Amino acid sequence: MNLFAITANTVAVVNPLQLVTVRVSTGASINADGSRTPTYVSYALQAQIQALASGELAQVSSLSIQGIHRAIYLYGDIEGLLRSDQKGGDLVIFPDGSTWLVTTVLETWGSVGSGDMWCKVSATLQVDAPYQIAAP
């Protein structure tokens, strides 16, 4: 049973799914001067973007991650930073062009290869993103 499809369609009545670009980190290339440039593979995915719940805000706060955060539900297995496996640095590009770094995996469901794998991640707005907060 694909629970994400069931819940996403129900929630989409008040919060429509959005087409985002997910840039999954594949490591880095070494430049001639020795500097590193991150490399990615990109996927277009439907996402449910929401505010973080209070418990999730507390979790992010305990990690000392400052900034603007969103919860994102996505098909697949998107990862936060896992230094021991040299994974992480995945980015989500919203329809408005803003760039969000996946900072924490909050929940995962399903199993890899089942076609029913999905996750909920916390993402933090990046400084270079063309995103503006409306004045009160």
d(CA 79, CA 112): 13
Q: What is the pLDDT of residues 14-64, one digit of tens each?
A: 778 899 999 988 888 889 999 988 888 999 999 999 988 777 666 666 565
Which residue in 123, 122, 114 sits closest to 4, CA to CA? 114
Whether the predicted pLDDT of 130 surpasses 60: no
Q: What is the pLDDT of residues 50-109, one digit of tens each?
A: 988 777 666 666 565 667 889 999 887 787 666 666 667 899 999 999 999 998 888 888
pTM for the whole structure: 0.77
Domains and CATH numbers, the chain: 3-125 (2.40.10.270)
Q: Which residue has the higher pLDDT, 128 or 95?
A: 95
120: which strand partners?
73, 107
3-state secondary structure of 22: strand
pLDDT at 81 (0 to 100):
65
